[in-house]
Chains A and B, each alone.
Chain A
Amino acid sequence: DVQLVESGGGLVQPGGSLRLSCAASGFTFSRYDMHWVRQATGEGLEWVSAIATAGDTYYPASVKGRFTISRENAKNSLHLQMNSLRAGDTAVYYCARGVPGGFDIWGQGTMVTVSS
């Protein structure tokens, strides 16, 4: 089965750091762009970052300079290093497989809570 499983979420203090991971299985990971999307409780979806097959990375202004997306194709893994975390970063973080015009496979999500 094609599957994405996130890990690494938890409680962190404002200004702290956290590293999320996403384990991919059931498909050739290296052939797909990969993304992180987050959702605060009761809110909508917010795209957080993307990494292309060639390694190009993309971020919205809200996280640029604080978050870093990376991939390890040999380990079928996607990562999101999050620094200088703020209360507004509190959300469920999903990794998602990119296809032309969308995200076709989503993980179950991992909760990140930024609070003192």
Chain B
Amino acid sequence: QSVLTQPPSVSAAPGQKVTISCSGSSSNIGNNYVSWYQQLPGTAPKLLIYEDHKRPSGIPARFSGSKSGTSATLGITGLQTGDEADYYCGAWDSSLSGGVFGGGTKLTVL
């Protein structure tokens, strides 16, 4: 049972937009930054979004992050088959004094 809650799967057609939600509480998302990671099969996770909405250099603007209260959202526009991957949200939890992740969302580009 993950501290952060994500939908197990989402899907959309190439070229379309998809959003992935991440729900937490005041001890994590509500008062700490959220980050998002993409994990392609057989590879290490890759940072997509940090500090709720910032993109590291090299991450396309098709990827965006937002946060409201105790929930965060990852948006991906102009979907490509190469975007098929598992996506995880993460945050620091002040009550646990540790990092927490969502259970992951598998994106299928139909």
User: How many of chain B's residues touch chain A, expressed as a range?
Assistant: 20 to 34
- Across the interface, do B44 and A106 meet the contact criterion of CB distance under 8 Å? yes
User: How many of chain A's residues touch chain B, expressed as a range?
Assistant: 20 to 34
B contacts with A: majority SS: strand
- Across the interface, do B47 and A104 meet the contact criterion of CB distance under 8 Å? yes
Q: Does A87 make an interface contact (CB < 8 A)?
A: no
- Across the interface, do A100 and B33 meet the contact criterion of CB distance under 8 Å? yes
> Which residues in A have their C-beta under 8 angstroms from that of B104?
44-45
Q: Does B97 make an interface contact (CB < 8 A)?
A: yes
> Which residues in B have their C-beta under 8 angstroms from that of A109?
44
**B66-110 Cβ-contact flags toward A at 8 Å (1 or 0):** 000000000000000000000010111000111111111000000
Q: Does A99 make an interface contact (CB < 8 A)?
A: yes
- Across the interface, do A101 and B98 meet the contact criterion of CB distance under 8 Å? no
Residue of B nearest to A106 (CB): B44
> Which residues in A have their C-beta under 8 angstroms from that of B101?
44-47
Q: Does A58 make an interface contact (CB < 8 A)?
A: yes
Q: In whole Å, how far is B86's beta carbon from the nearest beta carbon of chain A?
A: 8
- Across the interface, do A37 and B99 meet the contact criterion of CB distance under 8 Å? yes
Apart from the given pairs A44-B88, A104-B50, 11 other A-B contacts in the complex at a CB distance below 8 Å:
A44-B102, A45-B88, A45-B104, A47-B99, A100-B33, A101-B33, A101-B35, A102-B35, A102-B37, A102-B47, A103-B35
Residues of A within 8 A of B (CB): 35, 37, 44-47, 50, 58-60, 94, 99-109
Nearest first, the 6 A-B pairs at minimum CB distance are: A101-B33, A102-B35, A47-B99, A102-B50, A106-B44, A101-B51
- Provide 10 A-B residue pairs closer than 8 Å at the C-beta atoms, listed in order of the A residue: A37-B99, A45-B101, A94-B44, A100-B51, A101-B32, A102-B33, A102-B35, A102-B37, A102-B49, A103-B90
